[in-house]
Amino acid sequence: MSKSSSMSRRHFVATSLAATAGLMAGVGTLSCSPQKKSDIRVGLYTITLLGIWYKGEAMPLDQIVRKAREWGYTGIEIDGKRPHGNPLDWPTKRCKEFRSMANGEGIEIYGVAANNDFSSPIPEHRECQIAYVKDLIRMTSDLGAKTLRMFLAWPGVTKHPQVARYDIARDIWKYTHEKFTPEEIWSWCRDGMAECTKYAADAGVILALQNHKPVIDDYPDVLKMVKEINSPWLKVSLDAPIMNEKTEDYIRNAALAVGDLQVLSHFGGEYERGPDGKVIGEEFYRYFIKAMHEIGYNGYMSYELCHPLPVVNGETVGIEYAEKNAMLAAEFMNGLIKEVVSA
């Protein structure tokens, strides 16, 4: 990337944050409801058991439903790619049958996660992504889920040769975007999101925009896009692990800025049980749950394990590693929510 291009991108981020400052103040004042009672539940995002970050096959979704209940989750978020949730594989009849099965197990299907990228400089690629999201919206509705998690941009992952990695897809994404300005990329993303918001309105599905790079730097950019789209069908998935700062003040300010726009959140990490028997987790989650309780958040904390995992004796760990962490994560977050809310 040229020096001038790099400076242009930094300038765009800076002006984005400055322009959003007024929005953050307005959203925090208008949509935050400090007296509203929170209802924070813990769910499992199925990417954890998709068979790409550990060595081995994906766990079938019907088995994940039963495991989720066993581990202490009350719902699941289905990842929108094969072998779990690509809408090509989920006609309406199958969605309704699966929803009935999950209901019978006492597990809510609270969301579906899109792996979309509206940022390509190639119009045909953007149109393919819009078609994908439109079918995901249909699938989300057929499953009885309320929310479809969205990106503005997503480089993707590759499997090379057995488990997934990020670097190849990220390098390709950088190469295809380096000749275009941040303003051009933002406008393509805005156009794609605006069109998909209309499809979401028709289906009664909420789109939840995540504070996920690239294009989005952090939550101010999420709020900027939500303001520009200006639709009740586009809201926010504010996630603590991918915030630029994880101090208590930063997290609280982000929560207050987002307020009632918050409809979904994710947490991650790898967990161990300490000498006292308690599950050990990152301290910033306490700050986040306190902030969510303060704004009266009514929704899910969705556990995801979606990064390269340890290699032991020359082999990437297997599904048992993902299962252990999913079980401990539910115990950690359920305990933390109970502790914070009852304080």
Confidence of residue 33 (pLDDT cuts 50, 70, 90): very low
Report the run of H or E that residue 266 belongs to, with start and end: strand 262-267
Whole-angstrom Cα distance, residue 328 to residue 158?
28
CA distances from 179 to 6, 171, 220 (A): 11, 14, 25
Please compute the mean of the pLDDT values over residues 66-70 and round it to a whole number. Answer: 98
Q: Where is pLDDT greater, at 225 or 1?
A: 225
Q: What is the pLDDT of residue 35?
A: 60
**pLDDT tens digits, 116-171:** 999 999 999 999 999 999 999 999 999 999 999 999 999 999 988 779 999 999 99
Strand partners, 55: 318
CA-to-CA distance for 52 and 128, rounded, in angstroms?
A: 23
Which residues are 41's β-sheet partners? 300
Question: Quick check: 113 and 77 in contact, CB under 8 A?
Answer: yes
Alpha-carbon dihedral angle through residues 278, 281, 283, 289, given to the nearest 10 degrees: -90
* E strand or H helix at 301: strand 298-303
Residues 6+ apart with CB under 8 A from 14: none
Domains assigned to the chain:
3-342 (3.20.20.150)
How far lies 165's CA from each of 140, 156, 243, 308, in Å? 27, 9, 21, 7
Nearest to 272 by CA among 323, 336, 330, 328: 328
154-168, 176-190, 278-292: range with lowest mean pLDDT: 154-168
pTM: 0.90
Eight-class DSSP state of 275? T
